[in-house]
Amino acid sequence: MTALAAELQTYFSVFARTQRDLSEHTITAYRDTWRLLLTFLADTTEQRAEHIDFDQLDAAHVAAFLDYLEHQRGNSTATRNARLSAIRAVLTHALPGHLDHAGTISQVLAIPPKRHPTPMLEFLTAAESDALIAAPDRSTWTGRRDHAILVLALQTGLRISELRSLTYTSVHLGTAASVTCTGKGRRTRATPLTPTTTAVLATYLAERHTRSGTALFSGPRGQQLSPDAFEHRLKVHATTAATACPSLADKHLTMHTLRHTAAMNLLAAGVDISVIALWLGHQHTHSTDAYLHADMTIKQKAIDRTRTPETTPGIYHPEPDILAWLTTL
């Protein structure tokens, strides 16, 4: 076994789980990155993957791998940077124990993330949201489940990972109805539910309790829905909704778009940006600032409060002759 293989086993079986206590989502993302990297290095160096060691893991090969992700696999810059973070996480842990490869490892750790323009957030209008919610066929159990998913996601802005983790005990109906979830960074939060969402979930739960499994939103056999299943169901209903609301056909709609929509609805209602950050489970308010940039209403209000170019500078003094002033209008 090579030193790199031993390090990978130690990192993923011991360090990531017991010392860092990383989430399963993070561990899976890191694992997939290293599988891709080792496969790429094996093809590039014409060696078997189990023979790849720190000597082949130099800055040139890692940079070539990052270029491969962007140009051949079609990954975005954000995905490229996430893959680089996964590589750096393992090598940062490996460095103190492999000082004989310190030069090679340090050069890889010095590779900077790639800068990229921040895209404008995409969100749904009220009409688009209504059309999407109405799309599932509620004469079937799957349709009623999907209807509950869409209503809850659009109102609460829960991440797809948070929706997947919900169980029966996560939903609290009655007075001060809310849903409790554990999000990024293992931060637990409770999100209030509107009367409409409460009614939908109450009806859904009454039927859901008759089926197997504990996941709130489950598959036919009671199993937890996968992220791809959520996205697939959303795509199906978006296609249906586009017949009634054609503007949906022009939007790249994902489950995260529903989260953006919930945030924009709160912002349009006058909710303070710091409260929206708490609502979404953001650790810092700067993560929520993007919604301010996306809200054209706020920008229009700012324009309306500015002086037009032809306005004469100076302090306003009312006309002494009211009849003369009225004539100028």
Name the residues annotated as catalytic. Answer: 159, 184, 256, 259, 282, 291
Residue 63 exposure: Cα atoms within 13 Å on the Cβ side: 11
In angstroms, rounded to a whole number, what is the distance separating the alpha carbons of residues 301 and 292? 12
Give me the long-range contacts of 322-325 (CB less than 8 A, separation at least 24). Answer: none
- What the block records as the tokens of 129 is 């949201």
- In 3D space, the residue among 53, 49, 32 whose CA is nearest the CA of residue 40 turns out to be 49
Distance CA(275)–CA(271), nearest Å, equals 7
307 backbone dihedrals φ, ψ, rounded to 5°: -85, 135
Torsion of CA 12, 23, 82, 154, to 10 degrees: 160
| Secondary-structure percent of the chain, ordered helix, strand, coil, rounded to 5 | 65, 5, 30
